[in-house]
Amino acid sequence: MNITVIGTGYVGLVTGACFSKMGNKVYCVDIDENKINGLKNGQMPIFEPNLKTIVVDSQKRGDLIFTTDLKIALDDTNIIFIAVGTPMNDDGSANLDYVFEAARNIAESITHESLIVVKSTVPIGTSFEIKKIINSISDVKVDIASNPEFLKEGRAIEDFMHPDRVVIGAESEEVFEILKELYRPFTLNHERFVLMDIKSSELTKYVSNAMLATKISFMNEIANICEVTGANIQEVRRGVGSDKRIGYDYIYAGCGYGGSCFPKDVNALINTAKANGYYPRILSQVEEVNLNQKNVLVNKVADRFGDDLNGLTFGIWGLSFKPGTDDVRESTSLVVISKLIDKGAKIRAYDPQAMDEFKKTIDEMYLDSIEFSENRYSAIENCDALILITEWKEFRNPDFALLSENLNKKVIFDGRNIYSKKITSMGFELHQIGC
Ligand SMILES: NC(=O)c1ccc[n+]([C@@H]2O[C@H](COP(=O)([O-])OP(=O)(O)OC[C@H]3O[C@@H](n4cnc5c(N)ncnc54)[C@H](O)[C@@H]3O)[C@@H](O)[C@H]2O)c1
């Protein structure tokens, strides 16, 4: 099959790469010329395990073509995926500017009947809006489908290649059949299609993210109850997760969720509900609990060292919003680091992949107070405490003797509860979340 993917970010690039790996001819289109030129030369704009090999191999075979020229792509394809960003507006609603611009771009270049597939996460009814925009500019017949993406950054290729489910929202059997055929190579083991109407498909994506965010905020709230009562969230998690109806996933307490999806998608769903006259009580609290949780580490540091942190330096391990990615959008690290600096602290930071993105994202005024380190141990040299924000594997079992040597004070704030209490016997003072 010949496919165009509009938007070459985390989702678009992975989608294009994986479809091309299965032998389809895929055009990946982006308005960012630097990104496209880099990709043509094998430079990945994002860090994602196993992505580069697929991109380079598919390009060599001629199955993957990078271009900024949408017309060239549309002339040779009849399935068009929209995978552009839908960031958050200031009022929490989804910003659909990129999506609608992509629709206009399609309408201006399309010459033959095609299927438009909306992969971007969009509020209920947006796919119909996209079709309306195209129909208002072009006479070419288009069908519309919704096919939200559920990949996780850091495991994106794995998730796309082996999806738990492929949700498709469409209006006709023919469209379902086209998309089932396209995804067939990814579901050979057993059928994983979940077919539905377009609006329900659009909502399904928001509900998945909102449900996961709810589980996390719920456990963070329980962790805070543990702290004031002396219970241990780690024990509670084991007890609760062993119930098959609940399970162990997404019930880890920590210093708050971030990323390009959970915060914006929960907010967008709240916004959609309110715009339709319904006030969503649970969802509103999910977000509020999370915003509080991003401050928990700062509060713990202030409890331990006082509110004035002048003259103190903190070593930070982990800047990305989760391990396995260079994405720092809405990351807890942005909140913790800026607030510690506001209180007078200096920061030494290390992340295996996300330091460049972090430098581009944090407010410039903080950069003078941050020293970025080459490795995890130099990041804590002469620091008054280590603060762990992202649980990259290389942080899980460090050389504690070296930590002991490098730190001024043997104090660790473990924002993801990855360390054992046993390290206190080595003289470390360990502050964790809810235990
Ligand atoms: N990142 C994730 O983990 C994830 C997972 C599932 C779903 N999603 C959803 O997928 C969508 C894309 O997310 P992302 O993280 O890949 O975004 P991103 O910001 O990484 O990438 C978007 C890309 O679209 C390009 N673009 C914007 N307008 C364009 C246009 N008119 N024509 C061509 N290219 C254009 C941008 O230059 C950019 O490269 C969002 O709706 C997001 O919510 C993201």
pLDDT tens digits for 76-85?
999 999 999 9
Tell me the domains of the chain and their CATH numbers. Answer: 2-196 (3.40.50.720), 205-292 (1.10.1040.10), 294-431 (3.40.50.720)
pLDDT tens digits for 231-289?
999 999 999 999 999 999 999 999 999 998 999 999 999 999 999 999 999 999 999 99
- Burial class from Cβ neighbours inside 10 Å (0-12, 13-18, 19+) for residue 206 reads buried
- CA of 327, closest atom in ligand 1: 1
Q: How far is the CA of 10 from the centre of ligand 1 (A)?
A: 7
Say yes or no to pLDDT of 326 above 90: yes
pLDDT tens digits for 304-323?
999 999 999 999 999 999 99
Q: How confident is the model at residue 191 (pLDDT cuts 50, 70, 90)?
A: confident
Mean pLDDT of all residues in 40-45 = 96
Q: How far is the CA of 191 from the centre of ligand 1 (A)?
A: 28
- Cβ neighbours of 378 (radius 10 Å): 14
| Intra-chain end-to-end CA distance of the chain, in Å | 53
- The answer to whether residue 261 is catalytic is yes
Mean pLDDT of all residues in 17-23 = 98
pTM: 0.94
Nearest to 182 by CA among 168, 172, 203, 171: 168
Q: How confident is the model at residue 190 (pLDDT cuts 50, 70, 90)?
A: confident
With H, G, I as helix, E, B as strand and everything else as coil, classify residue 315: strand
Q: Between vectors from CA 57 to CA 54 and to CA 60, what angle results, nearest 5°?
A: 145
Of all protein residues, whose CA lies closest to atom 31 belonging to ligand 1?
102
**Taking all residues of the chain, what is their mean pLDDT, rounded to a whole number?**
97
Say yes or no to pLDDT of 413 above 90: yes
pLDDT tens digits for 201-221?
999 999 999 999 999 999 999
Say yes or no to pLDDT of 189 above 90: no
Q: How far is the CA of 430 from the centre of ligand 1 (A)?
A: 39
Q: How confident is the model at residue 344 (pLDDT cuts 50, 70, 90)?
A: very high
Length of the chain as a residue count: 435
Looking at residue 329, what DSSP letter applies? T
Say yes or no to pLDDT of 411 above 90: yes
- CA of 153, closest atom in ligand 1: 3
From the list 255, 261, 383, 435, the catalytic residue is 261
Q: How far is the CA of 82 from the centre of ligand 1 (A)?
A: 9
**In the block, which residue shows the tokens 């119930």?**
243
In a 13 Å sphere around the CA of 389, the CA atoms on its Cβ side amount to 31
Give all strands of the β-sheet with 370-372 in edge-to-edge order. Answer: 370-372, 346-350, 313-317, 385-388, 411-414, 429-431
Of all protein residues, whose CA lies closest to atom 10 belonging to ligand 1?
120
- CA of 150, closest atom in ligand 1: 6
